[in-house]
Structure 1
């Protein structure tokens, strides 16, 4: 007990008479633009999620590398004091 093709054609004819062809054309183009915008927003959201996941994984890898590298690489230098500098001067 569905709607037959003849019933759909009658409904379409009534809508065409009520709204007019020009107005239906505008409604169709507006609906198409809305669907296109929705698809674009969904794809941008998916791309953003993928980029966020990649960034999070990169940060996890960096954190893991930092935890395993608990070695400090430093070079000690000796600071000469004035007394050391005076003792190395030639005496006149």
Structure 2
């Protein structure tokens, strides 16, 4: 009684498709995919920016002070 079988999930999926329709589900899936893609790109940009700041800080520390 605590776990769901594959048949339970298929029935739930069928009801969701009937309620929302395939077009709305496809649009929601596309929106979710683009959100994940944008998030990953932002994470890469943030890491690259952090590495650049770190290398700039190291290069400034190595310059001789007069």
- Whether the TM-score (by the shorter chain) exceeds 0.5 is yes
Q: Could you list the per-position Cα deviations for residues 59-81 of structure 1 after superposition, in whole angstroms to 9, with x for gaps in the alignment?
A: 1101xx22xxx5xxxxxxxxxxx
Runs of 5+ in structure 1 lacking a partner? 71-92
Does residue 61 of structure 2 align to residue 60 of structure 1? yes
TM-score (norm 2): 0.90
Equivalent in the alignment of 1:38: 39
Give how far 1:57 is off. 0.2
Q: Distance in 1 between matches of 2:20 and 2:32?
A: 16
Structure with max Cα Rg = 1
With a CA cutoff of 8 Å and minimum separation of 6, indicate the structure with the bigger relative contact order: 2
Equivalent in the alignment of 2:16: 15
TM-score (norm 1): 0.66
Q: Distance in 1 between matches of 2:15 and 2:46?
A: 40
